[in-house]
Structure 1
Amino acid sequence: MDLNDQRPAQKKPQKNGRRITPASLENQHEDKPGLAARIAASRLLSAVIDKKTSLDGMTDSQHGNPAYLALNDADRALVRAIVTTALRFLPRLEAMIAARLDTPLPEGARALHHSLIIAATQIVYLDSPDHSAVDLAVEQAHRDPRNRRFAKLVNAVLRRLVREKSAVLEETSGIVCLPDWFYRRLSSVYGEPAANAIAEAQLQPAAIDLTAKADAALWAERLQGFLLPTGSIRLGAFSGAVSALEGFEEGVWWVQDAAASLPVKMFGMLKGKTAVDLCAAPGGKTAQLIAGGAVVTAVEQSANRLKRLEGNLARLGLEATLVQSDLLAFAPQTLFDLVLLDAPCSSTGTIRRHPDVLYTKGPEDIAKLAGVQEKLLRHAVTLVKPGGSIVFSNCSLDPVEGEEMMSRLLNERDDLQRVPLLPSDWPGLEEAVTPLGDFRTSPAMLRLDNGFASGLDGFYACHLRRI
């Protein structure tokens, strides 16, 4: 049978006389608790790997994947946990399965491949009942005409994984859980030891960090968190919604990775200065600027994202002038003291939070986005007063989007100069200060041994002054 053929191998009428179709087979899972969630997880994994579709978009509560949206809240959370874990450990999972197949799966059996990955993720890495993971994967194979003939194979492979779980973890522990292209890129830039450290760091979900408007030490104590060298509050492990924590409704803090809080801190004193935050949504850096005393204009191209920014500032009790505009078309009559450009990028520094980035982006995206960033930065320079400051940042680990672009710009412009950071001014973050005085953080930095999660998002940030 052609595995790409969507027709059932045999067409047998149901008791009511209707023909069984692939869609009807897949939709008849109400009698099998948990099957709908596993089917949704397989579809989302397939879309990320095979079609380079963003996981955030597919799990959006309003516009997400229909199979995901059809689930209740508990099953949605389960699907997110399964898929993100599968993406973190994908190279190891694929090796586990391949080692237990007598022959490789047919080239067209991608749906079967993804359902095996989903089940293996539950068996090896998640606290799921083994028998349930096996049973649901076999049932999923039975209900898909393309995979029905592989049901016994699915059962055999997964039962071996259950029996050999400890050995499986040991035999795959040395496999680097990054796509080859990305690992090679990291190794060439940072060296193999650092690349391996980043690979290991991304296997752990990122902690939740908060930025407080004031009294960060007090709020760290009240929330039983840890005050980081960045001034951020790192929360310990907890279950439930962040919105239920003390201080949320009062608007005294907001969620922001510790690394993402650094670019604004590079400006130094903010009080009384005019500042523009370009590409401002969701508004964490905008809030920092306002809380520091700056008079802020926030620019965002997307109407929906600007609305989200407005809602976030309202909760925090902060005010800014909001402007919906394409950044390249933004031409205010008055120049600013401070310009912040946190530019759109490949987001490879956020792989602890968004492991799908490793499979939805590639070298061609990095090169393309670096070109966009350079255009935006060249325009951002025109918005700052002589003597004023520009901070450029992004959450990419790739120097093509950071150091290389900045070097090219500074070599061409004699009206810009770098304002280098001094490691001594950033206690606890010295390793993040580059020899040229920029920030370069990575997921493997900020190692904590006090019971709190380690790591930072990968960020690049450079402070410039217009002469």
Structure 2
Amino acid sequence: MTDRKKAAPKGHGKSGNATVPGLVARKAASDILGRVTGKGRPLDQEVDPQNGHAGFKTLDTRDRALVRAILGTALRRRGQISAILDALLDRPIPEKSGVVENLLHVGLAQILFMDVPDHAAVDIAVSMSEKDRRCLPYKGLVNAVLRRATREKAEILGSFDKPELAAPEWLFNRWRAAFGEETAAAIAGMHVFEPNLDLTVKEDADGWAEKLGGTRIGKATVRLSEHSGPVEYLEGFSDGAWWVQDAAASLPALLLGDIAGKRIGDLCAAPGGKTAQLAAMGADVTAIDISASRLKRLERNLARLGLKAAIVATDLRYFTPDDPYDAILLDAPCSATGTIRRHPDVAWSKTPLDIEMLAAVQEDLLTRAFAWLKPGGLMVFCTCSLEPEEGEKRIEAFLAATPNARRIPVKPAEIGGIEGAITPDGDLRTLPSLLPMDPPEHGGLDGFFASRIEKTAK
């Protein structure tokens, strides 16, 4: 971190009115950034075209894409931008609502990390500050800080290119403790890249990789590194040949082995990627989730794919199946810190308390779900979290407290030979830094933990 410096003397940016090109989109981006980081609103909800932020819904397709790009960059680079802004300011901005800070984050994201003309980013930010009474007193400061960033861009980027800035300090320190300094830095380094589009195909992964210009990963994933545009336009979508699912998310279902004809409980099933896998493998699947609206999406996906599953909307804490299951896939609620590549807001909306509370939920669900297994049945417990409390430590505690439970170690062939994804205890542990490719942004996986447990005879 460089010494904190005073902002340059106040200056004047180009003023404008509500028709300034790009102003409405940047205003929406600034507002949404504040709602996500200040109020904990999920980014996906805010940029939903039907039910999202009011300002976002009024934008055309091109401006919506711009807002998504700005927000993705501002959140992926939030640690860097915060450190840079701290160095550019003499003291914190006293404006209480955070509107000025959000405006500056949006401007710096464009100037430092996006292909946006510097003068446009500065002028629009100054125009925005003129139109909000909370920002107006800081118009000169906004202008000075952003113009200084344009002048000193190379120096700034060199000084603040540190992997530990890609996450809040408390979260990076957890990764350092769990995985070591080098791996923690590699994880954080992958979070600055947009994720690839991964598809799970029903059959013939190599054939679909050739058709779509992608790369096969593992057993049934096709990765499209250069894709842009709606997935609905891709070959095979309307025919139900594949569904969108990160390569790591496709692995837990594979650990149940041959489940054709078996009765499977898919718990916390929405949005349904794993349900589709289980159904495509020939299982008699019951998909259970607390969210009726998310299950509607699951139902639509299954219909497109030509697959079937029984669907139950209920709270698992008050559910008991009519008969025991042959196998269970429990994709438990978690902090989702393994999905920061796809959901960069997660890094800035979760807290240590969230991890503690969710670990307690997982403990309860593990115990309940295990009771629903037939003797000799398998349960795969998984979370999309990088936190040991929601993975390795959760399973260690469960096995210690459950005499008729034993771990069945994962074998490399079961996950398509993905290197480095099996722990010394035999559990599955994927990291964003796994699956390296050239260039680096074409590689990576979501962070997942999965453990396979057998219910032995009493």
The alignment's TM-score, normalised by the length of structure 1, stands at 0.91
**Does structure 1 conserve the Cα–Cα contact (< 8 Å) formed by 2:362 and 2:390?**
yes
1:303 aligns with 2:292: yes
1:372 to 361, 364, 367: 361
Q: Which residue of 2 aligns with 1:7?
A: none
**Does structure 2 conserve the Cα–Cα contact (< 8 Å) formed by 1:230 and 1:262?**
no
Cα distance in 2, alignment partners of residues 29 and 436 from structure 1: 62
Cα distance in 2, alignment partners of residues 235 and 104 from structure 1: 43
1:417 to 406, 423, 430: 406
Cα distance in 1, alignment partners of residues 426 and 194 from structure 2: 29
Farther-moved stretch of structure 1 (30-39 vs 350-359): 30-39
Cα distance in 2, alignment partners of residues 301 and 115 from structure 1: 37
Distance 1:46 1:382, change over 3 A: same
1:320 aligns with 2:309: yes
Distance 1:250 1:29, change over 3 A: farther
Q: Which residue of 1 aligns with 2:236?
A: 247
**Does structure 2 conserve the Cα–Cα contact (< 8 Å) formed by 1:279 and 1:343?**
yes
Cα distance in 2, alignment partners of residues 111 and 370 from structure 1: 34
Q: CA RMSD in A?
A: 1.7
2:225 to 236, 241, 248: 236
Q: Which residue of 2 aligns with 1:22?
A: none
Q: Which residue of 2 aligns with 1:352?
A: 341
Cα distance in 1, alignment partners of residues 391 and 22 from structure 2: 44
1:161 aligns with 2:149: yes
In structure 1, runs of 5+ residues without a counterpart are: 1-27
Q: Which residue of 1 aligns with 2:29?
A: 41
1:115 aligns with 2:108: no
The alignment's TM-score, normalised by the length of structure 2, stands at 0.92
**Does structure 2 conserve the Cα–Cα contact (< 8 Å) formed by 1:420 and 1:437?**
yes
SS in 1 for 2:420: helix
Cα distance in 1, alignment partners of residues 122 and 95 from structure 2: 23
Q: Which residue of 1 aligns with 2:119?
A: 131
Cα distance in 2, alignment partners of residues 242 and 304 from structure 1: 22
| Corresponding residue pairs, total | 440
2:176 to 181, 184, 187: 187
Percent of pairs with identical residues: 48
Cα distance in 2, alignment partners of residues 146 and 452 from structure 1: 39
Cα distance in 1, alignment partners of residues 291 and 42 from structure 2: 18
Deviation, 1:54, is 1.4
Deviation, 1:98, is 2.9
Superposed, 1:144-159 pairs within 5 Å as 144-159=132-147
Deviation, 1:427, is 5.5
SS in 2 for 1:297: strand
Q: Which residue of 2 aligns with 1:340?
A: 329
**Does structure 2 conserve the Cα–Cα contact (< 8 Å) formed by 1:92 and 1:175?**
no
Distance 1:427 1:212, change over 3 A: closer
**Does structure 2 conserve the Cα–Cα contact (< 8 Å) formed by 1:235 and 1:452?**
no
Deviation, 1:105, is 2.3
Deviation, 1:240, is 1.2
Farther-moved stretch of structure 1 (262-271 vs 330-339): 330-339
Distance 1:409 1:112, change over 3 A: same
Cα distance in 2, alignment partners of residues 112 and 257 from structure 1: 36
Q: Which residue of 2 aligns with 1:205?
A: 194
One-letter code aligned to 2:37: I
Q: Which residue of 2 aligns with 1:226?
A: 215
Q: Which residue of 1 aligns with 2:278?
A: 289
**Does structure 2 conserve the Cα–Cα contact (< 8 Å) formed by 1:91 and 1:175?**
no
SS in 1 for 2:106: helix
Cα distance in 2, alignment partners of residues 359 and 299 from structure 1: 29
SS in 1 for 2:377: strand
Deviation, 1:231, is 3.0
Deviation, 1:58, is 1.4
Farther-moved stretch of structure 1 (144-153 vs 198-207): 144-153
Q: Which residue of 2 aligns with 1:388?
A: 377
